[in-house]
Structure 1
Amino acid sequence: MRLLLIEDDAALRLGLARQLEADGYRVDQAADGEDGLFQAREYPVDLAIVDLGLPKLSGLTVVQRLRADGRAIPILILTARGSWQDKVVGLESGADDYLVKPFEYPELAARVKALLRRSLKATSDVLTLGPIAIDFSAQVARLNGEVMDLTAFEYRVLEYLVRERARVVSKQELSDYLYPHDEDRDSNVLEVLIGRLRRKLDPDGTLAPIETLRGRGYRFTLG
């Protein structure tokens, strides 16, 4: 899962990013509302954590503009203001949940997990598609009940294709999801990852779980 953390307090932002990454999330960071809005618009994001008191653009403005764009990603707002009026303003702007500073990391982690689960429209963390089961919480995939030996990148590819299985995912979109936007990408690396993942998901060559549509991208075919 790829998260966007928009927070101008550098110590808090870096600390939260380290803890979230230790929990297995990919975390992009922004120190002001303008950069945060740009990243949310330009790159695939599964959830945004947005501080309200941001420079350049306020957190409320960021949330409002994302919702005006039609972006339905879950948004958790962070606020130093604890009054119920401020909470209502944040939620009415389009946020899905709020957390008042100061807070403990386990509470933020629990809210992130709950919002992501709700966005997946799943009643549990496990999604079963034919012989393949994916435990989003544990970040583990099973084939016929046996845990698959996937690298972190292979798991991310599988998770993203499964979540977006109703449509074709372009190579560019998948690359944006996998790699920081300031890294050089090599399309050959992505093709190798897809090939390796196909062999692990379908060792007998009977499922064909990942379809390649020439010139368009990839689609997960099960479910």
Structure 2
Amino acid sequence: MIKILLVEDEKAVRLLTKVKLRDKYEIIEAVDGKDALDKLEETKVDLMIVDVCMPRMDGYELVRELRSIGDATPVIMLTAMGDFSHKKKGYELGIDEYLTKPIDYEELTWHIEAILRRSRINSEKEICVGDFVISENGMYARLNDKDLDLTDTEFKLLYKLLSYPGVTFTKQQIMDEIWGYETETDYNTIKVYINRIRNKLEGCTAFEIISQRGVGYKAVINQ
């Protein structure tokens, strides 16, 4: 099970957050930054949820310490302070997401899943969405444990779209990256390949490839 370190000095917030997330993740608790560092010496975690204002060592200090020693564990920072300067400071230190209290736990879960997906893509070159898996290292795509027969171009196009779910890529961006800047292929070719991919993904309900009329395409993951 995915391990999340929750660093929060308010006991009530820790308890509620643990109740909301424990069905999907193993939650390890820490009461401040120093306690978090002690916990991290004992176990490796996949993600951290860190409050800003805490005694002894606050969230900013904790992230600064972790990044200074090369620890790249993803961090979601929680705070009651939602102004731009605080967000800017957090992102400059190396956090991954910034959420303002009171916590919307559905939104928090979306951010956790998105960060874990990006982290898995970066480290393993593998994207898992529901029953679909596509691996850049293994050069395979599987739906319901069955290999899909994708051409090299279909594979590259699908991997690109799924690497950035929700992001629309223009036809020109797709053309330049998949076919190259010097290609004489026109935009209709992209449409042909998108249709081929959709046909091969028939029965896949985890995500869809959406056409943005006159613009391009994006992959949308179904919640």
- The residue aligned with 2:43 is 43
**Superposed counterparts of 1:51-130, under 5 Å:** 51-121=51-121, 122-125=126-129, 126-127=132-133
Return the TM-score normalized by structure 1: 0.56
Q: Note the C-alpha offset of 1:100.
A: 0.6
- The residue aligned with 1:205 is none
Q: Which has the larger radius of gyration?
A: 2
Return the TM-score normalized by structure 2: 0.56
Percent identity reads 38
Displaced runs of 4 or more, over 3 A? 126-130, 142-145
Q: Distance in 2 between matches of 1:33 and 1:93?
A: 15
Contact 1:5 1:27 (8 Å CA) reproduced: yes
Q: Structure 1 counterpart of 2:44, which letter?
A: P
Q: Distance in 2 between matches of 1:112 and 1:79?
A: 16
Unaligned runs of 5+ in 2: 148-223
Q: Structure 1 counterpart of 2:15, which letter?
A: L
Q: Note the C-alpha offset of 1:29.
A: 0.4
Q: Distance in 2 between matches of 1:21 and 1:76?
A: 17
Q: 1:13 to 1:115 in 2, by over 3 A?
A: same
Contact 2:127 2:133 (8 Å CA) reproduced: no
* More RCO (CA 8 Å, sep 6+): 1
Q: How many aligned residue pairs are there?
A: 137
- The residue aligned with 2:33 is 33
- The residue aligned with 1:16 is 17
Q: 1:35 to 1:26 in 2, by over 3 A?
A: same
Q: Note the C-alpha offset of 1:134.
A: 9.7
Unaligned runs of 5+ in 1: 136-141, 146-223
Q: Structure 1 counterpart of 2:133, which letter?
A: L
Q: 1:134 to 1:106 in 2, by over 3 A?
A: farther
Q: Structure 2 counterpart of 1:73, which letter?
A: T
SS in 2 for 1:120: helix
